[in-house]
Structure 1
Amino acid sequence: MKKLFGVIGDPIAHSMSPLMHNDLFQLYQLDAHYFPFHVKKEKLAEAINGLKVLGVSGFNVTVPHKVEIMSLLDEIDPLAKAIGAVNTVVNVEGKLIGYNTDGNGYVRALTHYVSDLEDKRVLMIGAGGAARALFFSLAKAGVRRMDLANRTVEKAQALINECPYEIEASALEMNEAELSLEEYDIIIQTTSIGMSPKVNEVPLSPERLKAGAFVSDIIYNPLETRILTEAKQRGAQIQNGLDMFVYQGALAFELWTGIFPNTERMKQIVEMQLGGK
């Protein structure tokens, strides 16, 4: 019997997850299919009950349901509970278990390029939901020093205070972070600044980047944001958000099937859909 998987969100038509996962089911010869489900906020509880009744084996959760879904699940992984958001659900014999693969997906993507994270000094830009997932996951992965820059310093400090893992961190104003960029080995941009269509915006100037710094932006549309372009011009190694998207999907696939998939193939499929590098 064919297994059913999917993604719920509003909007959902733009999602590239069905393309990515259905290709993997075909690659690994699994009798399964992945569907996009358009679910309005006010219909979330009904939708989850419907997915459960249909026996859907697992599904992803995207905007705006990542937080609200938590109250509708039977069990939540400790990291997802700490982050306060779920993006992947596994149906285990009728019990819905929630996970967050965003942060761990980012860590896997980052360590593909950067080794010895524990010894690196990190600056994270932003203090929203994505920053929270990445900050907690990097702290859990062993990063010892990570500062957080945000337009509202109080929000950054609150995120630091709520981190359940041991880490040395400071909350900074954006201009303060900009003036001290040379202190950091890794800069991680987690805000929506620079996303299409506002592609000429940058959260801060990379002018003071240290030589050989690594600059990562979780945006993948465009594939190279302005901050990445400017960082590259200053000799930095750069990474866009495509790797994070691919690895969070790969970790979800592994939770559902027990198979960690071919991430290079997944990346190529999404790049083709986006129109190339």
Structure 2
Amino acid sequence: MTERISGKTQLIGLLGTPISHSLSPKMHNEAFTRLGLDYVYLAFDVGTEQLEDVLKGYRAMGIRGCNVTMPNKVLVRDYLDALSPAAKLAGAVNTIVNEDGILTGHITDGTGYMRALMEEGIDIIGDKITIAGAGGAATAICIQAALDGVKEISIFNRQDAFYERAKQLVLDINAKTACKAQLFDLADLESLRGEIASSVIFINATSVGMEPLVGQSVVPDTSYFRPGLIVSDVVYVPAKTQLLEMAEGVGCKTVNGLGMMLWQGAKAFEIWTGEEMPVDDIKALIF
């Protein structure tokens, strides 16, 4: 690392909290090194209160860009100059690029998630899915799944600000795609059981299962699962969340968030550098 950092090295950051668990610095710095690119990637523990000031600093210092993760993916839109079409539709951002002081937000979570499923040999096109969460990652996954041809999406979330946003997400999906979307309160366990029972996959797109919620699950017990159901978690630290352990116990195929992290990162890498990430090398490193 010290051999390749120079006075011209450009900085890429990761803004979120908690952040110390992230594999993104390892992934991107290895990719920069393998391609001989003069960039460095660092993680910064930044919550919503510091976010505006941090992005002002990005402009002032000419920092090339960043990834944005929980809890900042929605709020960050307020501090940007432009949004990609996908980010505008999703109402969330996970990647920012700085072009001469103009900060443009992109969303790569949805394409990354769908690519990760494909790499696992999972095809959900034409089927029904159930997802927990209505934040940035969940919204991006829902929109991309709908655009790719998923037949029906049942979204569950707590009655909070994200629930109100999810109402518009459902309207957009139903109006702009051939997919049927519906929204439920996550506290409605009877509906949760029924929607999971009629779905090919259940996705946890909340932070439940990672620090500080390790050992917790959005699904109360294993009776909600059945053999043959696919259970997916966007969390990748720990690699096997309580949700995935429960699902494996009844014979479900499980997928953690590593694949999504890899493929959303590969697209972000291309946005910043104009180069393709050496995905096979990085996959061997982080899996």
TM tier, shorter chain? 0.7 to 0.9
Residue of structure 2 aligned with 1:233, choices 225, 249, 252: 249
Contact map agreement 2:227 2:252 (CA 8 A) in 1: yes
Aligned to 1:219: 235
Which one-letter code corresponds to 1:69 in the other structure? V
1:180–1:208 Cα contact (<8 Å) kept: no
Gaps of 5+ in 2: 1-7
Q: Aligned residue for 1:50? A: 57
Identity of aligned residues (%): 37
The CA deviation at 1:36 is: 3.0
When structure 1 is superposed on structure 2, of 32-41 and 104-113 the one drifting more is 32-41
Cα drift, residue 160 of structure 1: 1.6
Structure 1: how far apart are the matches of 2:209 and 2:37?
38
Q: For this pair of structures, how many residues does the alignment match?
A: 271
In 2, the alpha carbon distance for the partners of 1:208 and 1:47 equals: 42
Task: Choose which of 253, 256, 263 in structure 1 pairs with 2:272.
Answer: 256
- 1:161 matches 2:176: no
CA shift in 2, pair 1:226/1:50, >3 Å: closer
Whether contact under 8 Å (1:136, 1:165) holds in the other structure is: no
How far residue 220 of structure 1 moved from its aligned partner, in angstroms, is 1.6
**How do 1:99-248 and structure 2 match up within 5 A?**
99-152=106-159, 155=164, 157-163=167-173, 165-166=176-177, 167-172=179-184, 173-196=188-211, 198-204=213-219, 205-207=221-223, 209-248=225-264
Distance 2:48 2:123 in 1: 41
Deviation at 1:100, TM superposition (A): 1.2
Change (3 A) 1:228 1:52: same
RMSD of aligned Cα (Å): 2.8
**After superposition, where does 1:2-41 map in structure 2 within 5 Å?**
2-39=9-46, 41=48
TM-superposed CA distance for 1:162, in Å, is 4.2
How far, CA to CA, are the matches of 1:107 and 1:218 in structure 2? 12
CA distance in 2, matches of 1:94, 1:212: 50
Give 1:240 shift. 0.7
* CA deviation string 1:100-138 (max 9, x = no partner): 112221121122224543222211123333322221221
Which secondary structure does the structure 2 equivalent of 1:215 belong to?
strand
Instruction: Work out whether residues 148 and 169 of structure 1, in 8 Å CA contact, stay in contact via their aligned partners in 2.
Output: yes
Residues 179-226 of structure 1: CA deviation (Å, up to 9, x unaligned): 453321111112233334544433223435454222101122221122
Give the TM-score normalised by the residue count of structure 2: 0.81
TM-score (norm 1): 0.84
Contact 2:124–2:200 under 8 Å retained in 1 = no
Contact preservation (8 Å) 1:184, 1:210: no
Distance 1:117 1:50, change over 3 A: same
Q: Which runs of 4+ in 1 moved over 6 A?
A: none
1:157 shift after superposition: 4.7
Gap regions ≥5 residues in structure 1: 272-277
- What letter corresponds to residue 192 of structure 2 in structure 1? A
Deviates more, 1:9-18 or 1:143-152: 9-18
Q: Cα 1:94–1:192, aligned 2, differ >3 Å: closer, same or farther?
A: closer
Per the alignment, residue 85 of structure 1 pairs with 92
Alpha-carbon distance in 1 for matches of 2:212, 2:77: 32
How many angstroms does 1:22 deviate by? Answer: 0.9
What residue identity is the alignment partner of 2:116?
A
